[in-house]
Amino acid sequence: MSMDDKRTWQTLCGESFIENVPLANMVSIRTGGPARWLLDVADGKQAATAWSTARALGIPVLIMGNGSNLLIPDEGFPGLVIRFGHQFAGLRLEGDRIHAQSGVTLKELALFAADHDLLGLAFAAGIPGSLGGGLIMNAGAYNGEMSQVVEEVHCVNQDGDYITLSLEEAQLSYRHSRMMAEGLMVLGAVLRLTPGSKDALYATMAEFQAMRRDKQPLSYPSAGSFFKRPTGYFAGALIEQAGLKGLTIGGAQVSEKHAGFLINIGGATTADFVALKEEVQRRVKERFGVRLEPEVRIIQGTEK
C-alpha cells in the first residue's frame, strides 16, 4: 500500500484504523497472529467503504465478530480485519420485532428478548458468537436456530451495494446461508419473536446453560463444536467411538469431556489445531468411512 493509499484509508476509517493488532485474544480458541490492519466498526457505511477500498487495492479482508468460530493463521492476517464488536451492537425494540446490529452477542440478544417478554431466542443464550456470525452460520442449539426468528437480514454485497434479504432470500440452512455463499457483509437483522414469560424464558436459559456446563468443556478455550454434523451421525460420537478422546497434538486436544470439541490445553498454535483436525478426520474416515467437515472457519491469508 502506498502512503497516499494509506492516508486515504485512514481518512475513511478515522481513529478506529489501527495497525499490527494481536488477534489471539479476540478469538475464543486463543491462537493466531496479528492483523496487519484492524477496523473496529462503529458505523456501517464506514465498514462498507473500508471493505470496498481494501478490495480495490487488492488487500485481503477478514470480516469477524466475536471470534468464536475462527482459526487465525499463526503468522497473522496480512490484510484488513473488519471487526463488528461492541461499538456496533445496537438493539431496538419495535413491537414483537428486534432490530439488531451484527456486533451484538447472541447472549445479549437473548437476554434483551427475555427482558421484553419475547420468546424465540432462549436457545441462543449460551452460543458464544455475535449476531453477524450467527446469521451467516445459521447458529443453533437445543432445537432452535436463527432461521426460526429471522424476518430480514441487512447486508452489503461485494459491489458495495446495500441489500435487504428476506428470510427466504437469506437461504438459511444447516450451518449455511446465502451470506456465506456469496461473501456478503452482514450489518444486522430484524428478528420477529412471539410473546412469552420473562420468568419462564430465564428458567429455560438457565436449564440450557446447566446442560452446557455438564456436557461441554467450557473451562478451556475452544471454538465450540469443531465439526459439522454428518448426515445420519453425530461428529462427537464418531470421534469418541474411534477412541480419540484425549488425543493431543502440541497444545491442542480432543476434549475428554465432549469429543466434538477440540480444546486449547495451553500454548496451542493454530498449526496444532489444523494437525489435530486432520488426524481426527483421517482416523474417523478410516474407521467409519465418514468424512468430517469442519464447522470452524480456518482462515487463509487470501480472504476477500
Q: CA torsion, points 82, 84, 87, 88, in degrees to nearest 10?
A: 120
In whole angstroms, give the CA distance from residue 25 to residue 43.
23
CB atoms within 10 A of CB 172: 26
- Assess whether 175 carries a catalytic annotation: yes
Burial (CB count within 10 angstroms: exposed 0-12, middle 13-18, buried 19+), residue 286: exposed
Of residues 30, 83, 175, 297, which has the active-site annotation? Answer: 175
The residue count for the chain: 304
Q: How many CA atoms lie within 13 A of 126 on its CB side?
A: 21
Alpha carbon of 299 to those of 32, 227, 294: distances in Å?
Answer: 10, 15, 12
Alpha carbon distance 92, 217 (integer Å): 34
Q: How far apart are CA 91 and CA 2, in angstroms?
A: 39
Contact in structure between 183 and 163 (CB atoms under 8 Å): no
Q: How far apart are CA 186 and CA 165, in angstroms?
A: 10
256 included as an active-site residue? no
Residue with cell 432490530: 99
Q: Which of 28, 68, 225, 255 is catalytic?
A: 225
List the one residue out of 198, 233, 16 whose CA is nearest residue 112. 198
Residue 17, helix vs strand vs coil: strand
Q: Are 61 and 82 in contact (CB under 8 A)?
A: yes
Q: Is 151 a catalytic residue?
A: no
Of 108, 145, 152, 295, the catalytic one is 295
Active-site residue list: 175, 225, 295
